[in-house]
Amino acid sequence: MRDLVYPPVIGFAKTAFKVLDLKIRLTGTENVPRTGGAVIALNHISYVDFILGGFGAVPSKRLVRFMAKDVLFRNRYSGPLMRGMHHIPVDRSAGTASYREAIRYLSDGEIVGVFPEATISRSFELKEFKSGTVRMAAEAGVPVIPLILWGTQRMLTKDHPRDFSRHRAIAITVGEPTTVGTDDDPAEATAHLRTTMAGMLDRTIRDYPEQPAGAWWLPASYGGGAPTPEEAERLDQEELARRAARRK
């Protein structure tokens, strides 16, 4: 697969990180294999997660092909970049095609990035996971690598204005690869992945250099001002209702 677009985009991103003086702490990046296919499963707390999440594979000199909403591929600005970086468009009303494309990428030795929660978590804690992540890993015979992002929600997320202030701390934690067999129960494997990532998220939050009480970007269970998971679910349902009303 020829990559004429991806390397310059990474170079631009690194320059932007330097300009913003982001304090990026990378942990466990040796868990990303230097060769062969793998699924990277990421938590989802920000609109910039695919940029910073891909950065977690850079030390292994790997490029991550993210599964992303097809609307990004139709946009006049982001579309050429998404296609040029060989990301995978996802039409949520007809996901079989994108699933098969991801399997093909994995079989060809690519790394595919997936957000098992599907949408951004307003609580900044883990939402329920879809089973597609473990199912595609099992079918392609590749490992699942959990990856946790923290701090990206402070830059650009739902219900809050963008804030690209300088000197911000960003944590990227990569966990150990796990193997899912074709005989494994997808529901159990998905639950195990979520439990693993919940533990990683807890450690990452506790190790983060800032934890101001009441901060909007800190989960309620850690003394922050973010919505509880239950409140976040209500907000998600209200958002879906508004979208449905606009479509009508």
Closest listed residue to residue 148, CA positions, set 129, 172, 112, 121: 172
Mean pLDDT of the region 101-124:
97
Q: Which CATH class is domain 6-247?
A: alpha beta
- Residue 247: what pLDDT? 83
pLDDT tens string 133-145: 999 999 999 999 9
Assign 192 a pLDDT band (cuts: 50, 70, 90).
very high
Mean pLDDT of the region 211-233:
97
Assign 2 a pLDDT band (cuts: 50, 70, 90).
confident
Answer whether residue 95 shows pLDDT above 80. Answer: no
The model's pTM: 0.95
- Residue 131: what pLDDT? 96
- Residue 244: what pLDDT? 87
**Dist. CA 6–CA 27, nearest whole Å:** 23
- Residue 94: what pLDDT? 72
Which sequence spans correspond to the domains of the chain?
6-247
- Classify burial at 171, counting beta carbons within 10 Å of its beta carbon; exposed 0-12, middle 13-18, buried 19 or more: buried
SS (H, E, C) 67-124: EEECHHHHCCCHHHHHHHCCCEEECCCCCHHHHHHHHHHHHCCCEEEECCCCCCCCCC
Assign 152 a pLDDT band (cuts: 50, 70, 90).
very high
Task: Give the range among 36-40, 169-173, 201-205, 241-245 with minimum mean pLDDT.
Answer: 241-245
